[in-house]
């Protein structure tokens, strides 16, 4: 009798978890977007209302925010704007605490930028630890030039950032070039792959008529190109 009662309970639990898995990412994403929109409207909307009270309509703050971002992006194509930004950043770098916060946010924004410099999280690699262990990381430095003495024991080393699963953080390691192999993954796919402990990532959909669970792809060692 107890086993019969447990079956409906197990079924309801499984259905609830399935619904939670679908709704939780949507709810968190909508909440973050709503917070960004509300904060922008509350700050820039108040400014717009003070300047043009007769023209203000709900949502004008978000429109103003998008316009400012677009105009700044256009101005960054001019050398004089880039020079002013560089000088301002140099001044900010002299302020304790502020430089740490600003630098971290700037580096994260550069990581998201599609025009990031070569080596700035633009190459996804696999780092070999022994013969059977692989870690997914991002190539950050292609040589040992400029590194402090004692950090790299040889010249043929590269810097790799290894993100940790389920949290923001990771490790920066310097390993021999022979232990690093490029992976055919985009930065976004690789970050999602590592942050979800390999439960999410690019996969090949099953072909029509194919049944059963999809097989895990096997990397061809002959296609690996050393850095």
pLDDT digits (tens, 9 = 90+) for 8-62: 678 788 888 888 888 988 998 899 889 989 999 999 988 888 888 888 888 888 8
Q: Where are the domains of the chain?
A: 123-203
What percentage of the chain has pLDDT greater than the value 70? Answer: 72
What rounded mean pLDDT belongs to the chain? 76
- Concatenating the DSSP letter of every residue in the chain gives -HHHHHHHHHHHHHHHHHHHHHHHHHHHHHHHHHHHHHHHHHHHHHHHHHH-TTT--TTHHHHHHHHHHHHHHHHTTSHHHHHHHHHHHHHHTTSTTHHHHHHHHHHHHHHH-TTPPTTSS-EEEEEEETTTEEEEEEEEESS-TTPPTTT-SSSSEEEEEEEPTTSS-EEEEEEEGGGEEE-S--HHHHHHHHHTTTSSS--PPPPTT--SSPPPP---GGG----
Residue range 104-131, pLDDT digits in tens: 777 767 666 655 544 455 688 888 887 7
Model pLDDT, residue 13 = 83
From CA 133, how far away is CA 120, in angstroms rounded? 25
């Amino acid at each position: 009798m107890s086993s019969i009662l447990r079956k409906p309970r197990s079924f309801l639990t499984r259905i609830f978890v399935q619904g939670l898995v679908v709704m939780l990412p949507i709810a968190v994403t909508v909440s973050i977007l709503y917070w960004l929109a509300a904060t922008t409207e509350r700050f820039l909307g108040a400014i717009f209302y003070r300047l043009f009270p007769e023209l203000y309509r709900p949502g004008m703050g978000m429109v103003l925010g998008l316009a400012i971002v677009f105009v700044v992006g256009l101005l960054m194509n001019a050398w004089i704007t880039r020079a002013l930004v560089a000088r301002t950043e140099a001044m900010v770098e002299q302020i304790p605490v502020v430089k740490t916060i600003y630098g971290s946010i700037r580096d994260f924004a550069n990581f998201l930028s599609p025009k990031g410099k070569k080596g700035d999280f633009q190459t996804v690699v696999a780092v070999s630890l022994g013969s059977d262990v692989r870690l997914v990381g991002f190539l950050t430095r292609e040589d040992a030039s400029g590194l402090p003495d004692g950090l790299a024991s040889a010249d043929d080393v590269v810097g790799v950032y290894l993100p940790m699963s389920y949290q923001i953080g990771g490790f920066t390691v310097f390993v021999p070039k022979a232990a690093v192999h490029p992976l055919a993954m985009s930065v976004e796919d690789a970050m999602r792959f590592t942050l979800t402990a390999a439960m999410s990532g690019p996969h090949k959909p099953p072909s029509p008529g194919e049944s059963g669970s999809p097989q895990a792809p096997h990397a061809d060692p002959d296609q690996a190109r050393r850095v």
